[in-house]
Amino acid sequence: MNLFAAAPATSLRVAIVVSRFNHLVSVRLLEGATAELARRGVAAADVDVAWVPGAFEIPQTARALADTRRYDAIIALGVVIRGGTPHFEYVCRGVTDGVREVMRDTGVPVAFGVLTTDDVEQAFERAGGEHGNKGRDAAQVAVEMAHLLPALRERPRRPTSRPALRPSRCSTAWPRTSTCTRARSRSRRSSCAARWPRATRSTRESAHTRATGGSSAWPRSIATCCGSPSTSSCTATRPRRW
């Protein structure tokens, strides 16, 4: 098992995008995030804060900051409280989808610290109340991801050992004929052909003439000389096959 140890955050540059809407809650989230960054060793000069009108503008600002390539991580802070209209669902979906697209397209980690609550009391409970401070939690996520992603990109892969190829049984039992072997076979066949020349048609006709007593013509059939193919007293000699 390979574990990635946490490195000090002294060399990190972090940007924070904060929504101005529901300002009292957003300020507490920002205080929790900056306090956690300072506790982990991030210098105050390396932390930039960008205020935006509302939570819906957080993704666009986060993308602009990520495109500069000056920051190791970005923290998104804000609060969206449910009201009497469907406006809450549209804003929450736009913020979450936009932040996800920023991380996917730029590769810069964006810690999600936007609260989505049913009322104001739930928002204060999660901004320094009994449920902790989600701004501090987002700062912890930003520092951890800022160290983890570069380590994953730079970690070398282990070399994989490939098994040696075994020769097949067919290639061992019947080795492939080499060029020298084929050349010797062709020379052996050519010497045999020179020693035993193939009989030509004139050679076969002269041999037949000697066998039939001087007639070099081939009989068309037995009936021309005997009158009947079944006559046993036929004196014609059947031509020999060569």
Residues classed as catalytic:
87
**3-state helix vs strand vs coil in the chain, percent to 5:** 50, 15, 35
Cα–Cα dist 204/50, whole Å:
111
* 32 Cβ neighbours under 8 A, 6+ residues apart: 127, 128, 133, 134, 135, 136, 139
Cα–Cα dist 237/217, whole Å:
12
Q: Which DSSP letter does residue 1 get?
A: -
Q: Report CA dihedral (19, 21, 24, 28) to the nearest 10 degrees.
A: -20
CB atoms within 10 A of CB 177: 9
Q: Which residue has the tokens 């009201």?
A: 83
Distance between terminal CA atoms of the chain?
85
Report the DSSP beta bridge partners of residue 68: none
Helix (H, G, I), strand (E, B) or coil at 181: helix
